């Protein structure tokens, strides 16, 4: 995945069957963000693979004050890259 | 550590925890 400066990883083991996964997102390179992130804590959240989109979560993070509106695309892309990787792995394990 | 929690109006819970020390120093 391209380095957006925002890191997203699984917050717990993915057994490949759950439709809701726990993810953790944090800023690794604040210089890549347009706005100034609130603090450099890691943000844990759950993501429903079938129902939700990365853009939903990114927008909620903006509205919760974690990021500047100008960074919604970077945040959404970082989440989308990680979710795509998880789904790709799942298809390889259980085609 | 103290885990701050923010619950968005749509109901999603965001839990803020310190970034894992090992990840910060990655090149």
Digit-coded pLDDT (tens) for B1-27: 467 888 988 899 999 998 877 665 555
How much is the pLDDT for B24?
57
pLDDT per position as a tens digit, A4-59: 999 999 999 999 999 999 999 999 999 999 998 777 689 999 999 999 999 999 99
Is A78:A8 a contact under the CB 8 Å cutoff? yes
Which H or E element spans position A93? helix A72-93
Q: How far apart are CA A47 and CA A53, in angstroms?
A: 8
Provide the pLDDT for residue B20.
Answer: 72
Q: Are A30 and A40 within 8 A, CB to CB?
A: yes
Residue A22 token pair: 């726990």
Mutation target to probe the A interface, by most A beta carbons within 10 A, among B14, B17, B20, B27 is B14
Which of A3, A5, A22, A26 best tests the B interface by mutation, with the highest count of B CBs <10 A?
A26
Measured between CB atoms, which of A7, A28, A61 is closest to B14? A61
Its ipTM equals 0.85
Alpha-carbon distance of B2 to A85, in angstroms, equals 31
């Amino acid at each position: 995945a391209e380095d957006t400066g925002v890191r997203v990883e699984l917050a717990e083991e993915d057994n490949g069957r759950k439709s809701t996964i726990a993810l953790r997102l944090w800023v690794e390179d604040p210089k890549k963000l347009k706005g100034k992130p609130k603090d450099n804590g890691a943000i844990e959240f759950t993501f429903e693979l079938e129902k939700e989109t990365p853009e939903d979560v990114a927008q909620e993070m903006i509205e919760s004050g974690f990021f500047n509106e100008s960074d919604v695309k970077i945040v959404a892309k970082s989440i989308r890259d990680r979710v795509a990787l998880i789904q790709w792995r799942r298809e390889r394990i259980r085609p | 550590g103290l885990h701050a929690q923010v619950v968005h109006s749509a109901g999603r819970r965001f839990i803020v925890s310190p970034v894992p020390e090992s990840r910060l120093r990655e090149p």
